[in-house]
Structure 1
Amino acid sequence: MLRFFLIILFLITAIVIFFTQTQPYYKDIKTLIAERDEYQVALVDSRELQTLRDQLLSQYNTISQDDFNRLGKILPVSIDSGSIIVMFEDRARENGILLKKIDVIESKESTSDSTTALGALPLPYKTVGLSFSISGSYASVLSFFSDLEKNLRLIDIKSISFSSSPADIYEFNVSAKTYFTPVSPLTAVADTKKSEGAKEILSMLTKLRAVKIDTDFFSGDIYKSLVDFLPVLEMPKEYGRPNPFILPPEAATPIKK
């Protein structure tokens, strides 16, 4: 009988010790096990991340500086309105047509350009609207549009309306758009930095999985046929006097009394 009570007493004591002393440590152990599993997954992901990064950098380094510069003009990181306007003026003059008006509409993308499906990644580029009017002969206008088609800077024609006159002079009103990306995808690959934490590693891994570098693009006939019509605008190195109403010392003449 005494043995039975001792067994019951030991069981009760063990239960009390478990719930008062062991259980808090048991919860900590479960938390540590979960964290260990999470870090093991993060370690596997980090190794895959490093492998993907090295593969992309290897492809990135095969691109020549000339191709990289041309790619930066196809999809620049910003829009230089002045260069675009000068390019249109040069193409119009070279083809013997009159550029009557051009507007660069630097505003947010329209809903049709920026809307993506639910859960889809946002578009990696933004659009800028172009609106211009030209007039000239049919052959000259056709040559002008041919230049835009083979231009290195991407320009998509959205709509065209035109009118003609008995003198074989056509007037076109054109709506178009061009593109730019705030951050170059290739630069983003080259500037990949180490991330800390499982969530950051998983986020970076997801992004790198979506990056594809097609180096065959640079050897294609279409890419090689593109012509860089965009001019380089240089700002003057010297400026005028701070105060235009004060003559410089060498130009000042003494006043005779």
Structure 2
Amino acid sequence: MTNRLVPAAALVIALAIFFGYVSPTYSGSVAEIKERVMRATSALDAAARFGEKQNELASARNAILVDDLARLEALLPDSVDNVSVILDLTSLATRSGLLLSSINVAASPAGGGQEAAALSRVGSIDLILSATGSYESFIAFIAGVERSARLLDVTAFAVRGSNTGVYGYNLTVRLYWLR
């Protein structure tokens, strides 16, 4: 009788160990570990793809000539740098024979919501200029803004008439930079 009882008891003990310890461990913590390993593997794959893309973009950037890269940086810099733009505009106005009486920074550019601005990779700010001078001086100033190395848009302007040939001008100039 002990001969029959020992195998049955061993089977019951084996089943108890399997259902009491092995199965919960395998389906619980082992499954969680497998899931974490799969997530880590997918993260490593994504990091490898990112590294490849980064190397591809770096080689494309290195293929750009230094002079062209400097011109691009001047056209669309990665910071606002209002002071240098204001100095450039003042210098341009002086060379053109236009007298700048004030330069103000507008609160925010017109059009587009804050959500659209947050998603855009290009930021912009409006500068409001007040100036006086002859029509020829104004045309020379606008031509200088047009040829400027910095990306500028004249978004609005108004002219105050005069009998003396010296007019008053109000301009709104939009300045761009990379975010």
TM-score, shorter chain, exceeding 0.5: yes
User: Is the aligned partner of 1:140 residue 2:121?
Assistant: no
Structure 2's unaligned 5+ residue stretches are none
Q: Secondary structure at the match of 2:17?
A: helix
**Contact 1:114/1:123 (CA < 8 Å) preserved in 2?**
no
For 1:103-182, what aligned pairs fall within 5 Å after superposition? 103-104=104-105, 109=108, 112=111, 115-116=114-115, 122-181=119-178
For 1:26-37, what aligned pairs fall within 5 Å after superposition? 26=26, 27-37=28-38
Superposed CA deviations along residues 194-220 of structure 1, whole A, max 9, x for unmatched, are: xxxxxxxxxxxxxxxxxxxxxxxxxxx
Scaled by the length of structure 2, the TM-score of the pair is 0.77
Question: In the alignment, residue 129 of structure 2 is paired with which amino acid?
Answer: F
Question: In the alignment, residue 139 of structure 1 is paired with which amino acid?
Answer: E
**Contact 1:77/1:181 (CA < 8 Å) preserved in 2?**
yes
Q: Secondary structure at the match of 1:116?
A: helix
User: Is the aligned partner of 1:22 residue 2:19?
Assistant: no
Question: In the alignment, residue 57 of structure 2 is paired with which amino acid?
Answer: L
- Give the distance between the partners of 1:181 and 1:47, measured in 2 at CA: 27
Higher strand share: 2
Question: In the alignment, residue 24 of structure 1 is paired with which amino acid?
Answer: P
For 1:1-257, what aligned pairs fall within 5 Å after superposition? 13-26=13-26, 27-104=28-105, 109=108, 112=111, 115-116=114-115, 122-181=119-178
Aligned length: 177
**Contact 2:130/2:171 (CA < 8 Å) preserved in 1?**
yes
Per-residue deviation, 1:13: 4.4
Q: Secondary structure at the match of 1:134?
A: strand
- Give the distance between the partners of 1:112 and 1:17, measured in 2 at CA: 70
Per-residue deviation, 1:150: 2.1
Per-residue deviation, 1:56: 0.6
- Give the distance between the partners of 1:7 and 1:111, measured in 2 at CA: 86
Distance change >3 Å, CA 74–CA 36, structure 1 → 2? same
Q: Which has the higher contact order (CA 8 A, sep 6+)?
A: 1
Scaled by the length of structure 1, the TM-score of the pair is 0.56
Distance change >3 Å, CA 80–CA 169, structure 1 → 2? same
**Contact 1:97/1:134 (CA < 8 Å) preserved in 2?**
yes
Identity between Structure 1 and Structure 2 (%): 26
**Contact 2:109/2:125 (CA < 8 Å) preserved in 1?**
no
- Give the distance between the partners of 1:45 and 1:169, measured in 2 at CA: 64
Per-residue deviation, 1:113: 5.3
